[in-house]
Protein backbone atom coordinates (compact mmCIF):
# COMPACT_ATOMS: atom_id res chain seq x y z
CA UNK A 1 0.00 0.00 0.00
CA UNK A 2 1.66 3.22 -1.16
CA UNK A 3 1.53 6.06 1.37
CA UNK A 4 3.76 8.91 0.17
CA UNK A 5 4.54 11.92 2.32
CA UNK A 6 1.83 14.57 1.98
CA UNK A 7 2.71 17.50 4.24
CA UNK A 8 4.40 18.73 7.40
CA UNK A 9 2.62 21.07 9.83
CA UNK A 10 4.37 24.06 11.40
CA UNK A 11 2.53 25.64 14.33
CA UNK A 12 2.65 29.44 14.45
CA UNK A 13 1.15 31.97 16.83
CA UNK A 14 0.52 34.76 14.31
CA UNK A 15 -0.32 33.56 10.82
CA UNK A 16 0.15 36.95 9.16
CA UNK A 17 3.61 37.31 10.67
CA UNK A 18 4.48 33.74 9.62
CA UNK A 19 3.41 34.47 6.04
CA UNK A 20 5.66 37.54 6.02
CA UNK A 21 8.60 35.69 7.58
CA UNK A 22 8.47 32.65 5.30
CA UNK A 23 8.08 34.98 2.31
CA UNK A 24 11.24 36.78 3.45
CA UNK A 25 13.15 33.48 3.31
CA UNK A 26 12.18 33.11 -0.37
CA UNK A 27 9.03 31.00 -0.26
CA UNK A 28 5.84 31.62 -2.21
CA UNK A 29 3.12 31.33 0.44
CA UNK A 30 -0.50 30.52 -0.42
CA UNK A 31 -3.31 31.60 1.89
CA UNK A 32 -5.26 28.47 2.71
CA UNK A 33 -8.31 29.77 4.57
CA UNK A 34 -10.16 28.57 7.66
CA UNK A 35 -10.61 24.91 8.52
CA UNK A 36 -14.14 23.57 8.52
CA UNK A 37 -14.44 23.45 12.32
CA UNK A 38 -13.71 27.18 12.45
CA UNK A 39 -10.93 26.88 15.02
CA UNK A 40 -7.75 27.10 12.94
CA UNK A 41 -6.59 28.80 9.79
CA UNK A 42 -3.54 28.19 7.70
CA UNK A 43 -1.28 29.00 4.77
CA UNK A 44 0.60 26.59 2.51
CA UNK A 45 3.99 26.37 0.88
CA UNK A 46 3.58 23.92 -2.00
CA UNK A 47 6.37 22.25 -3.97
CA UNK A 48 6.88 20.66 -7.37
CA UNK A 49 6.80 17.17 -5.81
CA UNK A 50 3.21 17.78 -4.66
CA UNK A 51 4.09 18.00 -0.97
CA UNK A 52 3.70 21.09 1.17
CA UNK A 53 4.47 22.83 4.44
CA UNK A 54 1.33 23.77 6.36
CA UNK A 55 1.54 26.92 8.51
CA UNK A 56 -1.29 26.62 11.03
CA UNK A 57 -2.56 29.01 13.72
CA UNK A 58 -5.68 29.27 15.83
CA UNK A 59 -8.29 31.81 14.74
CA UNK A 60 -7.64 35.03 16.74
CA UNK A 61 -9.97 35.63 19.68
CA UNK A 62 -11.49 32.16 19.48
CA UNK A 63 -12.81 30.51 22.62
CA UNK A 64 -11.79 26.92 22.06
CA UNK A 65 -14.33 24.14 22.30
CA UNK A 66 -13.30 21.21 24.47
CA UNK A 67 -13.71 18.80 21.61
CA UNK A 68 -11.39 20.70 19.27
CA UNK A 69 -8.24 18.56 19.51
CA UNK A 70 -6.43 20.37 16.71
CA UNK A 71 -6.98 23.90 17.99
CA UNK A 72 -6.04 22.96 21.55
CA UNK A 73 -2.83 21.34 20.30
CA UNK A 74 -1.87 24.34 18.17
CA UNK A 75 -2.60 26.81 20.97
CA UNK A 76 -1.03 24.83 23.82
CA UNK A 77 2.25 24.01 22.03
CA UNK A 78 5.24 26.18 21.26
CA UNK A 79 5.83 27.34 17.72
CA UNK A 80 7.60 24.86 15.47
CA UNK A 81 6.88 21.50 13.92
CA UNK A 82 3.58 19.82 14.65
CA UNK A 83 2.15 16.84 12.85
CA UNK A 84 3.11 15.30 9.53
CA UNK A 85 0.86 13.34 7.20
CA UNK A 86 1.02 10.61 4.59
CA UNK A 87 -1.30 10.63 1.59
CA UNK A 88 -3.72 7.73 1.24
CA UNK A 89 -5.93 6.99 -1.74
CA UNK A 90 -8.62 5.90 0.75
CA UNK A 91 -8.20 6.39 4.50
CA UNK A 92 -10.75 3.70 5.52
CA UNK A 93 -8.82 1.04 3.58
CA UNK A 94 -5.54 1.98 5.25
CA UNK A 95 -7.13 1.98 8.70
CA UNK A 96 -8.62 -1.47 8.12
CA UNK A 97 -5.32 -2.90 6.86
CA UNK A 98 -3.37 -1.41 9.78
CA UNK A 99 -5.84 -2.77 12.32
CA UNK A 100 -5.49 -6.22 10.77
CA UNK A 101 -1.77 -5.95 11.53
CA UNK A 102 -2.39 -4.81 15.11
CA UNK A 103 -2.11 -1.03 14.74
CA UNK A 104 -4.96 1.28 15.72
CA UNK A 105 -5.82 4.55 13.97
CA UNK A 106 -8.77 6.72 14.93
CA UNK A 107 -10.93 7.52 11.95
CA UNK A 108 -11.92 8.14 9.32
CA UNK A 109 -12.44 11.72 10.49
CA UNK A 110 -13.99 14.27 8.11
CA UNK A 111 -11.94 17.38 7.40
CA UNK A 112 -12.05 20.39 5.17
CA UNK A 113 -11.60 24.11 4.80
CA UNK A 114 -13.00 27.10 2.98
CA UNK A 115 -10.48 28.74 0.67
CA UNK A 116 -10.26 32.56 0.57
CA UNK A 117 -12.14 32.45 -2.77
CA UNK A 118 -15.02 30.59 -1.11
CA UNK A 119 -14.23 27.14 -2.56
CA UNK A 120 -14.94 24.33 -0.12
CA UNK A 121 -12.36 21.55 0.09
CA UNK A 122 -13.00 18.22 1.78
CA UNK A 123 -10.81 15.34 2.91
CA UNK A 124 -10.70 12.44 5.36
CA UNK A 125 -7.98 11.87 7.92
CA UNK A 126 -6.98 9.38 10.58
CA UNK A 127 -5.07 9.91 13.83
CA UNK A 128 -2.51 7.51 15.33
CA UNK A 129 -2.30 6.57 19.00
CA UNK A 130 1.37 7.60 19.22
CA UNK A 131 3.10 10.72 17.93
CA UNK A 132 5.96 8.90 16.24
CA UNK A 133 3.45 7.94 13.55
CA UNK A 134 1.96 10.22 10.88
CA UNK A 135 -1.55 11.38 10.31
CA UNK A 136 -3.26 9.90 7.27
CA UNK A 137 -5.05 12.08 4.74
CA UNK A 138 -7.03 11.42 1.57
CA UNK A 139 -8.69 13.96 -0.72
CA UNK A 140 -12.44 13.87 -1.36
CA UNK A 141 -12.34 16.93 -3.61
CA UNK A 142 -9.73 17.31 -6.38
CA UNK A 143 -6.24 17.61 -4.92
CA UNK A 144 -5.34 20.68 -7.01
CA UNK A 145 -7.97 22.56 -5.01
CA UNK A 146 -6.10 21.74 -1.78
CA UNK A 147 -2.56 22.17 -3.12
CA UNK A 148 -2.31 24.74 -5.90
CA UNK A 149 -0.20 24.06 -8.99
CA UNK A 150 1.75 26.33 -11.32
CA UNK A 151 3.48 29.50 -10.12
CA UNK A 152 2.37 28.89 -6.53
CA UNK A 153 5.02 26.15 -6.43
CA UNK A 154 7.88 28.37 -7.62
CA UNK A 155 10.15 29.72 -4.88
CA UNK A 156 12.84 32.37 -5.04
CA UNK A 157 15.04 30.33 -2.67
CA UNK A 158 15.07 27.40 -5.13
CA UNK A 159 13.14 24.90 -3.00
CA UNK A 160 11.58 22.15 -5.13
CA UNK A 161 10.27 19.59 -2.67
CA UNK A 162 10.53 17.88 0.70
CA UNK A 163 13.51 15.54 0.52
CA UNK A 164 13.38 14.20 4.07
CA UNK A 165 11.59 14.47 7.40
CA UNK A 166 13.32 13.54 10.66
CA UNK A 167 11.25 12.22 13.57
CA UNK A 168 12.65 11.85 17.09
CA UNK A 169 11.33 8.69 18.79
CA UNK A 170 11.72 7.14 22.23
CA UNK A 171 12.12 3.49 21.25
CA UNK A 172 13.45 2.85 17.76
CA UNK A 173 12.48 -0.83 17.65
CA UNK A 174 8.92 -0.08 18.79
CA UNK A 175 8.54 2.69 16.22
CA UNK A 176 9.89 0.51 13.40
CA UNK A 177 7.40 -2.19 14.39
CA UNK A 178 4.53 0.31 14.28
CA UNK A 179 5.57 1.60 10.85
CA UNK A 180 5.77 -1.96 9.58
CA UNK A 181 2.19 -2.50 10.76
CA UNK A 182 1.11 0.72 9.04
CA UNK A 183 2.88 0.23 5.72
CA UNK A 184 2.74 -3.55 5.45
CA UNK A 185 4.62 -5.22 2.63
CA UNK A 186 5.93 -1.93 1.23
CA UNK A 187 7.92 -1.19 4.37
CA UNK A 188 11.69 -1.63 4.11
CA UNK A 189 13.75 0.20 6.74
CA UNK A 190 17.49 0.47 7.10
CA UNK A 191 18.46 0.52 10.80
CA UNK A 192 21.89 1.70 11.90
CA UNK A 193 23.89 3.15 14.76
CA UNK A 194 26.07 6.20 14.24
CA UNK A 195 29.64 5.26 15.29
CA UNK A 196 30.83 7.47 18.13
CA UNK A 197 27.38 8.95 18.61
CA UNK A 198 24.78 8.01 21.19
CA UNK A 199 22.18 7.75 18.45
CA UNK A 200 20.40 5.10 16.40
CA UNK A 201 18.32 5.68 13.32
CA UNK A 202 16.05 3.99 10.82
CA UNK A 203 15.43 5.32 7.32
CA UNK A 204 12.80 4.36 4.76
CA UNK A 205 11.20 5.79 1.65
CA UNK A 206 7.84 7.56 1.63
CA UNK A 207 7.22 8.14 -2.04
CA UNK A 208 10.32 9.98 -3.25
CA UNK A 209 11.00 11.43 0.20
CA UNK A 210 12.93 9.81 3.04
CA UNK A 211 11.63 9.45 6.59
CA UNK A 212 14.30 9.30 9.28
CA UNK A 213 13.48 7.94 12.74
CA UNK A 214 16.10 9.12 15.22
CA UNK A 215 16.48 7.88 18.80
CA UNK A 216 19.06 8.75 21.48
CA UNK A 217 20.62 5.73 23.17
CA UNK A 218 21.99 5.35 26.68
CA UNK A 219 24.19 2.29 26.20
CA UNK A 220 26.89 3.90 24.04
CA UNK A 221 29.27 6.61 25.31
CA UNK A 222 29.56 9.75 23.26
CA UNK A 223 31.87 12.73 23.33
CA UNK A 224 31.94 16.31 22.12
CA UNK A 225 29.22 17.31 19.70
CA UNK A 226 27.70 13.81 19.88
CA UNK A 227 26.84 14.38 23.53
CA UNK A 228 25.28 17.74 22.67
CA UNK A 229 23.06 16.25 19.96
CA UNK A 230 21.98 13.22 21.99
CA UNK A 231 21.24 15.42 24.99
CA UNK A 232 19.28 17.83 22.82
CA UNK A 233 17.11 14.99 21.54
CA UNK A 234 16.54 13.70 25.08
CA UNK A 235 15.57 17.19 26.16
CA UNK A 236 13.18 17.46 23.22
CA UNK A 237 11.55 14.15 24.12
CA UNK A 238 11.18 15.24 27.75
CA UNK A 239 9.69 18.62 26.85
CA UNK A 240 7.65 17.90 23.72
CA UNK A 241 7.54 14.15 23.20
CA UNK A 242 7.99 12.34 19.93
CA UNK A 243 7.55 14.11 16.62
CA UNK A 244 9.13 16.03 13.76
CA UNK A 245 12.46 17.73 14.54
CA UNK A 246 13.76 18.58 11.08
CA UNK A 247 12.90 18.93 7.40
CA UNK A 248 15.27 18.97 4.44
CA UNK A 249 14.11 20.59 1.21
CA UNK A 250 15.52 19.67 -2.18
CA UNK A 251 16.99 22.32 -4.46
CA UNK A 252 18.26 22.13 -8.03
CA UNK A 253 21.39 24.21 -7.38
CA UNK A 254 24.20 23.91 -4.82
CA UNK A 255 24.20 27.68 -4.42
CA UNK A 256 20.78 27.44 -2.76
CA UNK A 257 21.95 25.07 -0.01
CA UNK A 258 21.64 26.65 3.43
CA UNK A 259 20.00 26.40 6.81
CA UNK A 260 17.08 28.78 7.19
CA UNK A 261 17.09 31.09 10.24
CA UNK A 262 14.77 29.78 12.93
CA UNK A 263 13.71 33.30 13.80
CA UNK A 264 11.97 33.38 10.41
CA UNK A 265 10.80 29.73 10.35
CA UNK A 266 9.15 30.10 13.77
CA UNK A 267 11.35 27.53 15.45
CA UNK A 268 11.24 24.88 12.70
CA UNK A 269 14.62 23.41 11.69
CA UNK A 270 14.57 23.60 7.88
CA UNK A 271 17.48 23.35 5.49
CA UNK A 272 17.81 23.43 1.73
CA UNK A 273 20.14 20.85 0.23
CA UNK A 274 21.45 19.99 -3.21
161-195 per-position pLDDT tens digit: 999 999 999 999 999 999 999 999 878 899 998 77
- Which positions ≥6 away from 124 have C-beta within 8 Å? 91, 92, 107, 108, 109, 110, 111, 137, 138, 140
- CA 198-200-206 angle, to 5 degrees, is 150
> Which residue from 65, 7, 19 is spatially nearest to 40, judged by alpha carbons?
65
DSSP 103: -
pTM as predicted:
0.89
Q: What is the pairing mode between strands 159-168 and 40-46?
A: unpaired
Q: How far apart are CA 106 and CA 125, in angstroms?
A: 9
User: 126-159 b/e with 16+ CB inside 10 Å = b?
Assistant: bbbeebbbbbbbbbeeeeeebbbeeebbebeebb
Task: Give per-residue pLDDT as tens, 60-111.
Answer: 755 444 444 444 454 556 899 999 999 999 999 999 999 999 999 999 999 9
- Percent above pLDDT 70 for the chain: 90
Domains of the chain: 5-152 (3.10.180.10), 157-273 (3.10.180.10)
User: Does the pLDDT of residue 148 top 70, yes or no?
Assistant: yes
> Which residue from 199, 274, 265 is spatially nearest to 236, judged by alpha carbons?
199
Contact between residue 200 and residue 46 where contact means Cβ atoms under 8 Å apart: no
The CA-to-CA distance between both ends of the chain, in Å, stands at: 29
Task: Give per-residue pLDDT as tens, 186-243.
Answer: 788 999 987 777 889 999 999 999 999 999 987 555 555 555 788 888 888 998 899 9
Q: How far apart are CA 211 and CA 208, in angstroms?
A: 10
What is the side-by-side strand order in the sheet with 199-206? 190-193, 199-206, 209-216, 159-168, 243-251, 270-273, 258-259
Whether a cis peptide bond, with omega within 30° of 0, leads into 170 is no
Contact between residue 12 and residue 266 where contact means Cβ atoms under 8 Å apart: yes
User: Does the pLDDT of residue 265 top 60, yes or no?
Assistant: yes
User: Does the pLDDT of residue 131 top 50, yes or no?
Assistant: yes
The pLDDT of residue 1 is 54
Amino acid sequence: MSLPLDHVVIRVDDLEQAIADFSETGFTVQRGGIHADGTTRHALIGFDDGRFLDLTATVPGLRLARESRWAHEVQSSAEGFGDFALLASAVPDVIEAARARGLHYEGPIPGGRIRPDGTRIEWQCAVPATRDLPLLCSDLTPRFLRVAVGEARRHANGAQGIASVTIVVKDLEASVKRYRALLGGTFDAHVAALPGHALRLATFASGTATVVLLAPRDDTPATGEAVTLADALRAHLAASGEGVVGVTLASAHASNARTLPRALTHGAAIELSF
